[in-house]
A and B are shown apart, each in its own frame.
Chain A
Amino acid sequence: MTERADGRGRTAIDADGANVANTANAPSRPGSAPAGGRTADGGAWLRRNRTILIPYGLIALLLVAAAIRTPGFVTPGNLRGQLVLASYLGVIAGGQTLVILTGGIDLSLAWNLNLSAILLTQIAADFSPAVAAAAALGSAALVGLVNGLGVAYLRIPSLVMTLGMNAVLAGLTLVYTNGSPQGDAPAFVRSLAVGRIGGVLPWALLFWLAFGAALIFALRRTTYGRRLYAVGNNREAAYLSGVPVRGVLVATYALCGLCAGLGGLLLTGYSAQSYLGMGDPFVLQAIAAVVIGGTSILGGAGGYGGTIAGAITVVLLQNVLQIVGIRPAGQQILYGLIVLLMLFVYGRGARVRE
């Protein structure tokens, strides 16, 4: 059978793996910095950092293309607007990044997001905005928790668990709203999504910055992050090292749910109200952002830094496609093709042998 660890498909790095093994006899430099094999070879450096270089390169490319096509595109105002849009997707894709790092996937975020958005506006009509926001986020996290329990304890494949959950949530939402959601986004949610500090710095960007910093810190510097990568790479070894595998999985799906809830809040703030189907486009967009950002769909490799770039790429792409006059149908086709392309660019599973 193919070994999971090999399924990461870093064949390009493997090439200089032998190199590294040879230098292993040399006394190691204390304070050595980056991971992996270090060679002076520039090509190797490019290959190693491609998960950062490719998405940011794509962003640059898109900006240039947009600037040529529509000279007025690259203005501070417009770019700021794009970044705000990217922040919504970025928050949603943050949870998806975590789940994909475990080797799973969350397809329920479409209606999880939608339900929390609807809870927000409907509850805010009768109660204080804080209560509404808490209920919205709580329900989103709870949904994630249930996903996590199913995946971790019943070993239901995440795809099926979350696909089923998505249908359940869609049904619940229909029943709850009777087909037409009511109410408006509370003022503070509106300011969070579209407001600006001093008319310049969008709150949403600030929020994304804090969110991103927290997530990257959690992944790199906390025991949770360490365990997440361990579980994503090799559950068996993680379990035998005393990692609470199920706990990590449940926490991760719950966090993903919470992120979907936050996304729901932001999107509600953006459009001032909630509506049915508002989450649907974000499933594929979030996955696209994660994949473009270089996180391995097999789990265990990648991080949120790439996803940030991926989210910006997706939003810019959408905008550029609109400018060029491609219909939503065409955009949908392109997203699919880009995800496939990225899978090939970042590497694939190992051949079945041995």
Chain B
Amino acid sequence: MSLAAAPPPPAARDRAVRRRPFLVRNARLLLVWGLLLVLLAVYVREAPQFRPREQRTIANSGLTLAVAGLGQTLVVLTGGIDLSVGPMVSLTNSLASSVTDQDSPRSSMWVAGALALLVGAGGGLINGLLVAYGRLQPIIVTLATASVWGGIALYLRPEPGGFIPPAFADLLSGTAFAQQALSLPFGLSWERPLPRAVFFLAALVALWLLFRRTRLATRIYAVGSSEGAAYMSGVHVARAKLWAYTLAGLAAGAAGLVTSAQTSTGNALSGNAATLNSIAAVVLGGASLAGGAGSYLGTLAGAYVIAVIPSVLFFYGVSTFYQQLFQGSILLLAVGLGALGVFRIRNRLERL
């Protein structure tokens, strides 16, 4: 088959549809990063000092949410939602604190880590199977499994406690380069301790950028954007959803490990706020709750906005009682602002 003998284009003056400019395409992303930078600037200015300890605190503050948010982003991109993220964080935290062993902290630490990730992925797989192959509503499925995960967490750890090896805590929440200086090109060197969280964040970003270039990512976007069109284009819709939920579970499991390391203890309620906050992070990050549009880079900034606000409020002497109030307000404000576009829709059937 040769199509080489193509006649000239029908009309050279056909108006070319341009790709929308960078600033327009990424407006939400730039907005949330701008907000985060402002908050960080305020924090640095208001904090009595900004030494490695404070740097570590800030870097750690949003890490759980940043990890869990990766999973929530994937699920929201398919047009679904995962309400079991928080309880899964609690469950894996409880699990990790229960299987570690004071006598052999190092080996049991690896066992705990592997087990937590496995349980997370398994729970996500169950969500995915119910949603994709059971054809049940994501909201109600994940609400129900949230109850189950929360119950299991309570069984494992009725009272807060348990043992987290200090080495593990340090691995995930400590600092690197505390002892020796790191030499950089151009004769520069880094002599100050760097929070390990920074490396994990860099890894998350790298992971996302690579993932973005897989076929799975394209399928996940396609399913969320238009399930019918995706099906017609030969996308295996159920499989894409299954992957999204499974990876979300895995991410929640990893977030449970981060929580374990940061709190050095197990608590069956430790992660529960992550459900609301991960959704808030995704929404702040500019992803569409209808699916198909959004980026983890936005969620990442959203996660840290949510995490940094309480610290900033603290410097202004606002009671911690206000924390939840602010987090809820941020979520509503973010969705509310995102929803203002509704008023530009001129076909009312599309905004019912």
Contact = CB atoms under 8 A, between A and B. Distances in A.
A touches B (Cβ under 8 A) = yes
Contact of A165 (B135, B148, B332, B342): B332
Contact of B228 (A298, A340, A352): A352
Interface string A162-188: 011111111110110011000000000
A350 B135 CA distance: 7
B331 A167 contact: yes
Interface in A335-350: 335-337, 339-340, 343-344, 348-350
A239 B351 CA distance: 11
B326 A171 contact: yes
B52 interface: no
B352 interface: yes
Nearest to B153: A329
B325 A171 contact: yes
Nearest to B134: A348
B331 A175 contact: no
A330 B152 CA distance: 7
A99 to B, nearest CB: 12
Contacts of B135: 9, 348-351
A193 B349 CA distance: 45
Nearest to B273: A167
A298 B145 CA distance: 18
A169 B329 CA distance: 10
Contacts of A153: 342
Contact of A105 (B130, B139, B319, B351): B139
B182 interface: no
A171 B321 contact: yes
Contacts of A240: 349
Contacts of B186: none
B148 A336 contact: yes
A33 interface: no
A340 B144 CA distance: 7
Q: Looking at chain A's contact residues, is the secondary structure mostly helix, strand, loop, or mixed?
A: helix
B39 interface: no
Contacts of A239: 348-349, 352
Of the listed residues A105, A156, A330, A351, the one surrounded by the most CB atoms of chain B closer than 10 A to its CB is A156
Given A159-B81, A245-B352, A284 B328 contact: no
A334 B144 CA distance: 9
Nearest to A343: B136
Interface string B143-160: 111111011111100100
Interface stretch (B172-180, B187-195, B276-284): B276-284
Nearest to A349: B135
Contact of B139 (A154, A156, A159, A344): A159
A287 interface: yes
A236 B349 contact: yes
B331 A155 contact: no
Contacts of A339: 140, 143-144, 147
A332 B151 contact: yes
The range of chain A's interface size is 35 or more
B237 interface: yes
A300 to B, nearest CB: 13
B321 to A, nearest CB: 4
Contacts of B137: 297-298, 343, 349
A160 interface: yes
Interface residues of B, number: 55
A93 B321 CA distance: 29
A329 B280 contact: no
B130 to A, nearest CB: 7
A101 interface: no
B40 to A, nearest CB: 23
Interface string B312-352: 00000001011111111101100110011010000011011
A235 B352 contact: yes
A332 B227 CA distance: 34
Contacts of A81: none
B231 interface: yes
Nearest to B342: A155
Contact of A336 (B147, B289, B348, B349): B147
Contacts of B283: 160
Interface in A131-154: 150, 153-154
B324 A352 contact: no
B339 A163 contact: no
A157 interface: yes
- Kindly name the residue among A154, A157, A166, A344 whose own CB sees the greatest number of chain B CB atoms within 10 A: A154
A161 interface: yes
A183 to B, nearest CB: 19
A330 B139 contact: no
Given A170-B328, A171-B325, 6 more contacts: A2-B228, A153-B342, A171-B326, A335-B147, A339-B147, A348-B134
A-B complex: 10 closest residue pairs judged by Cβ atoms: A171-B325, A167-B328, A333-B151, A336-B147, A329-B154, A332-B151, A168-B328, A1-B228, A154-B339, A336-B148
23 contacts: A1-B226, A150-B336, A150-B339, A153-B342, A154-B342, A160-B283, A164-B329, A167-B324, A167-B327, A167-B331, A168-B325, A175-B322, A239-B348, A239-B349, A284-B144, A298-B137, A327-B154, A328-B154, A330-B155, A336-B144, A343-B137, A343-B140, A344-B136
Interface of B: 81, 83, 130, 134-137, 139-141, 143-148, 150-155, 158, 226-228, 231, 237, 275-276, 279-280, 283, 289, 319, 321-329, 331-332, 335-336, 339-340, 342, 348-349, 351-352
Interface of A: 1-2, 9, 105, 150, 153-157, 159-161, 163-172, 174-175, 178-179, 235-236, 239-240, 245, 284, 287, 291, 297-298, 327-337, 339-340, 343-344, 348-353
